[in-house]
Amino acid sequence: MDESIKLGKNVIFHEQVKVGKDTEIGNNVELGINDELLIIGENATIRSGSIIYGGVVIGNGFITGHNIMVREKTTIGNNVIIGTNSIIDGNCNIGNNVSIQSGVYVTWGVTIEDGVFMGPFAKTTNDKFPPARDKSVLIGPILRKKCSIGSGAIILPGIEIGENSLIGAGSVVTKNIPPNVIAFGNPCKVMKKRE
């Protein structure tokens, strides 16, 4: 292990874990559950209580809050923040410069493009008729570049949020939202253009 990596107490590394230089890992962190390859880039800060599965690739400059979880088959770009108690539930693609605040739940199969902001306790869903017994029917939402999702918003399965759009806090998004708009409400409706 590289000498520039700082380890807290009770850190568990499973078999196939590669961590880049200048990384700091807090106490009680578990990396590489399921023994698939886990790659974490340079200059990461992984805070106490975090769990990251194998089968995950993470870029440089990754920062977490406490007690986050990232499940398998997920790709995360550079300079991504995942806030305290957030869950990335697998098979997700997350771009560069994404900010996921505390308490966010990202369901299986979500795409989050570059520059997206997700406010505290926002949620995505992927199952139109729960409970799905077959994962092939799950359809995660797509969050396009630089869109912002307000605190507590819920995005239903298969929904696409357009580039640079803003979803207001507490909204329930039941239909696709076009680019460059401000939308809010339950159900979420486009209210005006976003300059």
pLDDT tens string, the chain, 195 residues long: the values are 678 999 999 999 998 999 999 999 999 999 999 989 999 999 999 999 999 999 999 999 999 999 999 999 999 999 999 999 999 999 999 999 999 999 999 999 999 999 999 999 999 999 998 888 887 889 999 999 999 999 999 999 999 999 999 999 999 999 999 999 999 999 999 999 997
Q: Is residue 1 in some structural domain?
A: no
What domain range is 80 assigned to? Answer: 6-193
Contacts of 177 (CB under 8 A, 6+ apart): 159, 160, 161, 162, 165, 167, 183, 188, 190
CA distance 16 to 52: 12
Total count of domains within the chain: 1
User: What does the alpha-carbon distance between residue 71 and residue 54 come to, in Å, rounded to a whole number?
Assistant: 8
Q: For position 136, which CATH number holds?
A: 2.160.10.10
